[in-house]
């Protein structure tokens, strides 16, 4: 039985590692996967697992972008180090809106939005929005093409779009990247800034959940969490590289159609289970 639970943790880590960075909603996918093969753990641990497993994903960002994010690198000159500090400052500014919402309304959000009906609506709504926005932006030249050109106002604007992701099924990466595109930011730049914005967002969400639930879990549960995080880390290394390459040549329309199709699958699945 322990082996089966660890195998489930591997699958959940794979899903987290892929869907965290693609604009398809990691929460929606993990909730669906948990319905298909639920973890046999305490409810409090499961609530914590679905949030803290994201830590594996953010370590992948630190590994892949270590030099760009490291203001103390000996290979950087004075201006490059200053630019790195400015980048971190903009990430902090962009993190303020969702941080305020998370601290003040975390319990209300969990009680109100963590239902399959909400996830289905969010998947479909933003799927249609992705398709329409990409058609609107087609052929338009971005006004910002480098991270250095990103202003404080732009950073805060992307942070405001990130607040949409408190509703499960929305996708944090999708809301921030498309928010950046709407603001005239080049897609690869918006994607990179979204990756960096994930660091305080996921770390803050994990610490908040740990503070509320605590760490009194069984040895099996701790192992499940470790396996899930490690798997998410390894898979994220691949997923991030894929998305960076993809957004340089393609738009998000395919993800929009995928979200719409997934919303139909999830609806049929839960209705067949008798969940009204």
Lowest mean pLDDT among 42-46, 66-70, 132-136: 132-136
Confidence of residue 257 (pLDDT cuts 50, 70, 90): very high
CA distance 124 to 40: 30
CA distance 45 to 154: 37
pLDDT of 1 reads: 54
Give the length of the chain: 276
Confidence of residue 47 (pLDDT cuts 50, 70, 90): confident
pLDDT of 139 reads: 67
What's the pTM value of the predicted model, to 2 decimals?
Answer: 0.85
**111-134 confidence digits (pLDDT tens):** 888 788 888 999 999 999 889 888
Q: What 3-state DSSP class applies to 37?
A: coil
CA distance 199 to 210: 16
Average pLDDT over residues 217-232: 93
pLDDT of 156 reads: 94
- For every residue of 212-230, DSSP letters joined together read HH-S---HHHHHHHHHHHH
- For every residue of 38-75, DSSP letters joined together read ---S-HHHHHHHHHHTHHHHHHHHHHHTHHHH-TT-TT
Is 216's pLDDT higher than 90? no
Contact residues for 77 (Cβ-Cβ < 8 A; gap 6+): none
DSSP 77: -
Is 59's pLDDT higher than 60? yes
Is 27's pLDDT higher than 80? no
Average pLDDT over residues 80-109: 89
**155-212 confidence digits (pLDDT tens):** 999 999 999 988 888 888 889 988 898 899 988 899 899 999 989 988 888 888 888 8
**133-149 confidence digits (pLDDT tens):** 888 776 678 889 888 89
Q: How far is CA 70 from CA 10, 81, 89, 196, 236, in A?
A: 30, 8, 13, 12, 20
Residue among 251, 182, 240, 259 nearest 24 (CA):
259
pLDDT of 223 reads: 93
Instruction: Parse the chain into domains and list their residue ranges.
Output: 2-272
DSSP 166: G
pLDDT of 92 reads: 94
pLDDT of 128 reads: 93
Percent residues over pLDDT 70 in the chain: 98
Is 273's pLDDT higher than 80? no
CB 122 within 8 A of CB 169: yes
CA distance 155 to 112: 29
Confidence of residue 109 (pLDDT cuts 50, 70, 90): confident
Confidence of residue 152 (pLDDT cuts 50, 70, 90): very high
- For every residue of 249-274, DSSP letters joined together read T--SHHHHHHHHHHHHHHHHHHHHTT
Lowest mean pLDDT among 58-62, 120-124, 125-129, 265-269: 265-269
DSSP 165: G
Burial call 63-77: b when 16+ CB within 10 Å, e when fewer: ebeeebbeeeeeebe
Average pLDDT over residues 62-77: 92
Dihedral of alpha carbons 141, 142, 144, 147, sign:
negative
Q: How far is CA 74 from CA 68, 148, 154, in A?
A: 12, 20, 29
Is 151's pLDDT higher than 60? yes
pLDDT of 275 reads: 65
Is 41's pLDDT higher than 90? no
């Amino acid at each position: 039985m322990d082996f089966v639970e660890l195998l489930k943790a591997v699958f959940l880590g794979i899903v987290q590692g892929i869907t965290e960075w693609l604009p398809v909603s990691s929460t929606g996918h993990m909730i669906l996967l948990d319905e298909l093969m639920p973890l046999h753990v305490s409810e409090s641990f499961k609530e914590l697992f679905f949030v803290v497993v994201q830590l594996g994903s953010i370590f992948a960002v630190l590994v892949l972008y270590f030099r760009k994010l490291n203001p103390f690198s000996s290979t950087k000159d004075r201006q490059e180090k200053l630019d790195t500090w400015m980048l971190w400052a903009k990430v902090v500014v962009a993190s303020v809106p969702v941080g305020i919402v998370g601290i003040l309304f975390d319990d209300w959000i969990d009680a109100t939005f963590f239902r399959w009906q909400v996830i289905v609506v969010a998947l479909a709504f933003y799927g249609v929005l992705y398709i329409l926005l990409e058609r609107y932006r087609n052929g338009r030249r971005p006004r910002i093409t480098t991270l250095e050109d990103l202003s404080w106002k732009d950073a805060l604007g992307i942070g405001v779009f990130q607040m949409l992701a408190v509703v499960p099924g929305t996708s944090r990466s999708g809301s921030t990247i498309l928010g950046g595109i709407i603001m005239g930011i080049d897609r690869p730049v918006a994607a990179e800034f979204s990756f960096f914005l994930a660091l305080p967002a996921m770390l803050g969400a994990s610490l908040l959940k740990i503070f509320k639930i605590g760490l009194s879990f069984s040895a099996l549960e701790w192992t499940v969490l470790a396996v899930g995080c490690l798997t998410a880390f390894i898979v994220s290394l691949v997923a991030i590289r894929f998305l960076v390459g993809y957004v340089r040549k393609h738009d998000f329309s395919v993800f929009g159609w995928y979200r719409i199709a997934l919303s139909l699958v999830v609806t049929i699945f839960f209705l067949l289970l008798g969940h009204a």
